[in-house]
Amino acid sequence: MTISVGDKLPDIKLMKAGESGPEPVQTADYFAGRKVALFSVPGAFTPTCSAKHLPGFVEKASELKAKGIDEIACTAVNDAFVMGAWNKASGSDDVTMLADGNGDLAKAVGLVMDGSGFGMGSRGQRYSMVVNDGVVEQLNVEAPGTFEVSSAEYMLGKL
């Protein structure tokens, strides 16, 4: 079942790149008590993700924060090392990379895509959501092969 507006985000262990290696992040703790703009990409360093999705959230970070967003986070079914390298190459300190290396979050929210035709296996769909104190307030899921409703610009228009 796909997560919906009003649902509590499941408590999943993700990873983020730390100075001394991967650090565990529990979603229940991470999303508690704040408003987070979370976006999911099929993969770090992939074309649309690198050219449009991540850069949009980097460019619009101050506008999102001015509209009440406390934190911006990106997730993908990649490991913490890849997500950390992608942030260094294309991101900013305004975006926290949360690695969903096993696809646990993608599965738990019901937003998995089959990327096996591209040699990518099971991945998270492209989406964005606003999570307020662990509860989904806004959910924007892309149709396959599109990039419209999960952008930072679209999210800003809905805030």
CATH number, domain containing residue 36? 3.40.30.10
pLDDT at 137: 98
Q: Is residue 5 part of a domain?
A: no
pLDDT at 154 over 80: yes
Give the DSSP letter string of 57-107: HHHTHHHHHHTT--EEEEEESS-HHHHHHHHHHH--TTEEEEE-TT-HHHH
pLDDT in tens, 93-147: 999 999 999 999 999 999 997 777 776 767 799 999 999 999 999 999 999 889 9
Q: Is residue 8 part of a domain?
A: no
Cα-based distances in Å from 103 to 8, 14, 62, 99, 155:
18, 9, 29, 9, 24
**Within the chain, how many helices (H) and strands (E) appear?**
7, 9
**Residue from 150, 138, 153, 131 nearest 39 by CA:** 150
- The fraction of the chain above a pLDDT of 70, given in percent, is 99
| Residues marked as catalytic | 49
Give Cβ neighbours of residue 14 (< 8 Å, ≥ 6 apart): 24, 25, 26, 27, 30, 75, 98, 99, 100, 104, 105
Gap between the Cα atoms of 119 and 138, Å rounded: 31
pLDDT in tens, 8-55: 999 999 999 888 889 999 999 999 999 999 999 998 888 777 778 999
Q: Rounded to two decimals, what is the model's pTM?
A: 0.94
Q: Is residue 76 part of a domain?
A: yes
Containing structural domain, residue 127: 13-158
pLDDT at 121: 65
Q: Is residue 40 part of a domain?
A: yes
The total number of structural domains that make up the chain: 1
**Residue from 42, 57, 12 nearest 152 by CA:** 57
Split at pLDDT 50, 70, 90, the class of 1 is confident
For the record, the structure tokens of 22 come out as 């991967």
